[in-house]
Amino acid sequence: MATPTFLAMYQQLIANPSVSALDESLNMSNRPVIELLAHWCESLGFTVEITELQSAPGKFNLLAKRGTGEGGLMLAGHTDTVPFDDSRWNFDPFQLKQHDNRLYGLGSIDMKGFFAFVLDAIKTLDEQGAKQTEPLLILATADEETTMAGAQQIARHPDLKPARCIIGEPTDMTPVYTHKGHMSSAIRILGRSGHSSDPDRGLNAIEVMHLVITKLLQLKEQLKNKYSLSDFAIPYPTLNLGHIHGGDNANRICGCCELHIDLRPLPGLSIKELQILLLEAIAPVNAQYPNSVEVIDLHDPIPAFSGSTDSALVKLAEQVSNSKAVAVNYCTEAPFIQQLGCETIVMGPGSIEQAHQPDEFLAIEKVAPAQQQISYLINELCFS
């Protein structure tokens, strides 16, 4: 199976749905995308290893390698997409549509399209007779949009030791050297239900949640005032009260109330430290109402990614993109990939402003510059 043209690869990647979701009715296997990538990689002389996720049967990672020994460059991305609301799309999410100088499709920039850029660059370098001198690796992971289980599993790979890694999330080809982490927690209040006419016979979970929210807002200010890194546009850790539900009727004492919160730690503020701060914040409420407040992780917390602007990879990426490396507030698989011991950056085609949006698209005017930059990076790091 020969490697198709750039646009044909793009079309086929978009045409194979690979939604990952915590809601099992929306969740899909990424196997068709992995098999496509495997065929294309093999046609370019890569040895391919496909591994099913231990924590998510039916989901797969792909690791393709060309060249021998350790070191070299790894180009990494995830094969899954977020779910979509069909009513908000003006185009078929699974059919690459060229319209108004844009390429529309689910995953066009977040981030299946990155693989088309990578494989097309390698194919072109081969056709030009460039000689590969360093190992070249392609990593395609599963479930980045939910649990990041694919990246967490690859971080434990016993024989994977690239020298450098570029993760192709949409950054408009601006190198990202550091980003915040992500922690989502449920705060669950267990009260005692009863008739609203006799309040003392119950424990109203909504009223207890009111006390918890007061403590959380105090923690929000504490995080803002105590921690700061000027690298970030929003220089402090953020805490967001995102979703709340509780009770079932106006004349019943609410027996259960649950709040979902989002925390974004800075590099230097560990997940463990942040969890301790959260528990300390709500401890007075639990002391007042013993065993009424429970904190539950909604997913495995994602640590912050901390890189250096002085690394050789960052310097090269800045030169190629003609832009300074930046810090961003969203998170990626970088902290897990970094555990392999490689210099790591996040840098890929497309704007993060389009990620997770209806009518996700890549501007066609950005295709050629991104192709040139990705090809230059691969050539500089792996070819003579």
Give dist(CA 200, CA 119) in Å, integer. Answer: 68
CA distances (Å), origin 350, targets 37, 110, 146, 267, 371: 20, 8, 21, 25, 12
Angstrom distance (rounded) from CA 178 to CA 344: 9
pLDDT band at 283 (very low <50, low <70, confident <90, very high): very high
pLDDT at 85: 94
List, for residues 259-269, the tens digit of each pLDDT value.
Answer: 999 999 999 99
Four-way CATH pick for 183-297: 3.30.70.360, 1.20.960.40, 3.40.50.1100, 3.30.2130.10: 3.30.70.360
Residue 108 burial (CB count, 10 A): 28
CATH hierarchy code of domain 6-179+303-382: 3.40.630.10
**% the chain with pLDDT above 70:** 99
The whole-number pLDDT of residue 337 equals: 98
pLDDT value at position 2? Answer: 76
Quote the CA–CA distance of 300 and 374 in Å, as a whole number.
32
- At 243, is the secondary structure helix, strand, or coil? strand
Contact 193, 254 (CB under 8 A): yes
Q: What percent of the chain has pLDDT over 90?
A: 98
Query: How far is the CA of 357 from the CAs of 241, 284, 293, in angstroms?
Result: 22, 40, 35
Written as one string, the DSSP assignment of 109-143 is: SSSTHHHHHHHHHHHHHHHTTPPB-S-EEEEEES-
In terms of DSSP bridges, do strands 252-253 and 326-328 run parallel, antiparallel, or are they unpaired?
unpaired
What tokens does 270 get?
A: 């560990």
pLDDT tens sequence across 176-229: 999 999 999 999 999 999 999 999 999 999 999 999 999 999 999 999 999 999
- Compute CA 81 distance to the chain's CA centroid, rounded to the nearest angstrom: 10
Residue pLDDT, tens place only, 335-346: 999 999 999 999
Query: Cβ distance 50 to 323 under 8 Å?
Result: no
Domain locations in the chain as residue ranges? 6-179+303-382, 183-297
At 86-109, the pLDDT tens digits run 999 999 999 999 999 999 999 999
Q: Average per-residue pLDDT in the chain?
A: 97
pLDDT for 37: 98
Q: What is the pLDDT of residue 1?
A: 55
Give residues with Cβ within 8 angstroms of 307, minimum separation 6: 177, 178, 314, 334, 338, 343, 344, 345
| pLDDT, mean of residues 228-246 | 97
The Cα 363–Cα 349 span in angstroms is: 9
Q: Each residue of 35-47: pLDDT tens digit?
A: 999 999 999 999 9
Q: Give the DSSP H or E segment for 368.
A: helix 367-382
- Of the pLDDT bands very low, low, confident and very high (cuts 50, 70, 90), residue 22 is confident
The torsion region of residue 72 among left (phi > 0), alpha (psi -120 to 50) and beta comes to left
pLDDT by residue (tens digit) across 149-172?
999 999 999 999 999 999 999 999
Give the three-state DSSP class for 153.
helix
pTM over 0.85? The answer is yes
Q: What is the pLDDT of residue 314?
A: 98
Read off the amino acid at residue 187.
Answer: I
pLDDT tens readout for residues 272-281: 999 999 999 9
Q: Counting every residue, how long is the chain?
A: 384
Residue 257 burial (C-beta neighbours within 10 Å; 0-12, 13-18, 19+): buried
Mean pLDDT for 21-25 is 92
User: Active-site positions?
Assistant: 80, 144
Q: Residues 228-239: what's their mean pLDDT? A: 96
What is the reported pLDDT for 211?
A: 98
Would you say residue 373 has pLDDT above 70? yes
Taking the C-alpha atoms of residue 238 and residue 4, their distance in angstroms, rounded to an integer, is 44
The counts of H helices and E strands in the chain are 9, 18
Cβ–Cβ under 8 Å, residues 193 and 255: yes
Name the strands in the sheet holding 102-104, side by side, starting at the edge strand that comes first in the sequence. Answer: 97-99, 102-104, 361-363
Domains 6-179+303-382 and 183-297 fall in the same CATH topology:
no
Note every long-range contact of 227-231, with CB atoms under 8 Å and residues 24 or more positions apart, other chains counting: 227/266, 227/268, 227/269, 228/266, 229/266, 229/267, 229/268, 229/327, 231/178, 231/327
User: Whole-angstrom Cα distance, residue 361 to residue 95?
Assistant: 12
- Measure Cα distances from 194 to 45, 199, 248 in Å: 69, 8, 12
